[in-house]
């Protein structure tokens, strides 16, 4: 039997209410902050991601689902939304229509990694991107927005980490200082970290190996080598967060894996999921638009993993979903009345009443059991003596009360069901 591809999941009817609920929270919160939804294609030219995210990043170097289409173009299933959003922003000159564009999205993403708890090959993110402002106000808003959604979902065991990566000039200067510090310890580093020494030295801070952490414990920090303006920007962001009563920790070792980040970066972590504890990550990317061939555009955004968030909700039992039910179940007592029963269902469905009935020629008992299982508010019984006397029986399933209606008085039945 053919099964779903490794790392992909079917979202079955039983799980849909959770997804819908989360999506409704995302949608309404985004509206509160006046972010507008954007939808971009599921795949793009490969060059968009390799240039935007960075050739040396793991995403581009080993995780992308890329293939050559029949016209010979290399295309890639989107591994994240920022590059696509910036592409669409530039392609449609959104920046010329207004100074600041506040956009959000909910979309599947694709990365070919080994799956584990909270990590899939097709996964789903929601996120926001604000393009056009360099003000620290919008940096803070991103964090407040992400935090707002996560707290509306009832998650408690979370932690916000923020950091600033400053501007490339000061970062390059700092990298030289860091290299000088690490050089004497180079041989003691793990193999992975020795590789990072050349490719992306900042990420040695991320290493979970005790040995590496011991070495990096006393390393000079980027935050102590920021230029004055970056530092001031960062201070302002923190002040706004303080006033918004958002709790956060400054983590000078928070280094994010994508090349395009500048200034503020942040993550929201949960202790309610497995090792993949980042529910949400984001930061400022002032240089990306230019790098992709557009006008320089200051911008910031975040992305949040829906599967991870739902996993945390599950583990914290934070979602209070309404129970599923239907308005009316039509029970036919005689098989000869199947057509009449169906006719009634059509009429009530046209009145926007949720109706179900039996399609398997089952007994009255079985139909009643089904109605009960479906949490039907009412059952309409058709057949028997009452039907011979041109009556229908409407049973309230909660109170067991039965009311008789004239067979042509469907309006009264409808009234009863609605009220």
Partner RNA sequence: GUGGGUAUAGCUCAGUUGGUUAGAGCGUCUGGUUGUGGCCCAGAAGGUCAUGGGUUCAAAUCCCAUUACUCACCCCA
Distance CA 341, CA 410 (A): 13
Least distance CB 350 / RNA (angstroms) = 25
Nearer to RNA, 236 or 315 (CB): 315
Helix (H) or strand (E) holding 386: helix 384-388
Q: How far is the CB of 158 from RNA (least distance, A)?
A: 12
Closer by beta carbon to RNA, 95 or else 128: 128
The secondary element (H helix, E strand) that includes residue 350 is helix 338-350
Least distance (Å) from RNA to the CB of residue 58? 4
Quote the least distance from Cβ 133 to RNA, whole Å: 21
Of 231 and 391, which has the nearer Cβ to RNA?
391
Which tokens hold the place of 30?
């985004």
DSSP structural state of residue 339: H
Minimum CB distance to RNA smaller for 56 or for 93: 56
For 177, the token pair is 């200082």
Task: Determine the Cα–Cα distance for residues 165 and 167; give it in Å rounded to an integer.
Answer: 7
The number of residues making up the chain comes to: 419
Among residues 95 and 121, whose Cβ is nearest to RNA?
121
Query: Beta-carbon neighbour count of residue 347 at 10 Å?
Result: 14
Q: Of 93 and 375, which CB lies nearer to RNA in the complex structure?
A: 375
Within 191-337, residue ranges assigned H as helices are 191-199, 210-216, 228-243, 288-291, 306-316
Q: Which of 269, 244, 273 is nearest to 162 (CA)?
A: 269
Structure tokens at 47: 């060059």
DSSP state of 230: H
What letters, b where the CB count within 10 A reaches 16 and e where it falls short, cover 41-61?
Answer: eebbebebbbbbbbeebbbbe
Nearest residue (CB) to RNA, 239 versus 271: 271
CB of 15 to RNA, least distance (A): 13
Kindly state the smallest distance separating residue 273's Cβ from RNA, in Å. Answer: 8
User: Cβ 415 to RNA, closest distance in Å?
Assistant: 21
Write out the residues near RNA by the rule CB under 7 A. 3-4, 6-7, 57-59, 80, 111, 113-120, 123, 125, 192, 196, 203, 206-209, 256-258, 267, 274-281, 303-305, 307-308, 333, 360, 362-366, 368-373, 379, 381, 384-386, 393, 395, 397-398, 400, 402
Q: What is the smallest separation between the CB atom of 43 and RNA, expressed in angstroms?
A: 17
What is the distance between the alpha carbons of residues 53 and 130, in angstroms, rounded to a whole number? 18
Of 95 and 383, nearer to RNA (C-beta) is 383
Residue 229 tokens, joined: 């303006």
C-beta atoms surrounding 221 within 10 Å = 14
């Amino acid at each position: 039997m053919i099964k779903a591809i490794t790392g992909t999941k079917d979202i079955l009817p039983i799980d849909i209410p959770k997804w819908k609920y989360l999506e409704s929270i995302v949608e309404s919160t985004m509206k509160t902050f006046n972010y507008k939804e954007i939808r971009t294609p599921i795949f793009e030219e490969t060059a968009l991601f390799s240039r935007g995210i960075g050739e040396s990043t793991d995403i581009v170097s080993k995780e992308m689902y890329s293939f050559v289409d029949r016209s010979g173009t290399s295309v890639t299933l989107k591994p994240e939304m920022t590059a696509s959003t910036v592409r669409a922003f530039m392609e449609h000159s959104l920046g010329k229509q207004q100074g600041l564009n506040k956009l959000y999205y909910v979309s599947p993403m694709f990365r070919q990694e080994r799956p584990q708890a909270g990590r899939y090959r097709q996964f789903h993110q929601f996120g926001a991107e604000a393009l056009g402002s360099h003000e620290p106000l919008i940096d803070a808003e991103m964090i407040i927005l992400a935090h707002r959604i996560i707290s509306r979902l009832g998650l408690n065991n979370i932690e916000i980490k923020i950091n600033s990566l400053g501007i490339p000039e000061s970062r390059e200067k700092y990298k030289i200082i860091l290299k000088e510090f690490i050089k004497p310890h180079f041989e003691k580093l793990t193999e992975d970290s020795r590789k990072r020494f050349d490719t992306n030295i900042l990420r040695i801070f991320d290493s979970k190996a005790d040995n590496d952490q011991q070495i990096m414990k006393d390393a000079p920090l980027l935050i102590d080598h920021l230029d004055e303006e970056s530092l001031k920007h960062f201070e302002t962001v923190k002040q706004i967060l303080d006033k918004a009563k958002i709790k956060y920790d400054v983590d000078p070792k928070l280094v994010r894996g994508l090349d395009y980040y500048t200034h503020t970066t942040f993550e929201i972590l949960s202790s309610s999921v497995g090792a993949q504890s980042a529910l949400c990550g984001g930061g400022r990317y002032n240089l990306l638009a230019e790098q992709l061939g557009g006008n320089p555009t200051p911008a910031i955004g975040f992305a949040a993993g829906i599967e991870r968030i739902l996993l945390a909700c599950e583990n914290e039992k934070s979602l209070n979903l309404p129970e599923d039910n239907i308005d009316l179940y039509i029970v036919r007592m005689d098989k000869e009345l199947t057509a009449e029963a169906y006719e009634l269902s059509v009429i009530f469905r046209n009145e926007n009443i949720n109706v179900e009935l039996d399609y398997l020629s089952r007994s009255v008992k079985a139909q009643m059991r089904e109605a009960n299982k479906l949490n039907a508010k009412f059952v309409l019984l058709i057949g028997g003596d009452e039907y011979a006397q041109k009556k229908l029986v409407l049973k309230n399933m909660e109170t067991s009360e039965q009311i008789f209606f004239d067979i042509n008085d469907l309006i009264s039945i409808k009234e009863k069901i609605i009220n």
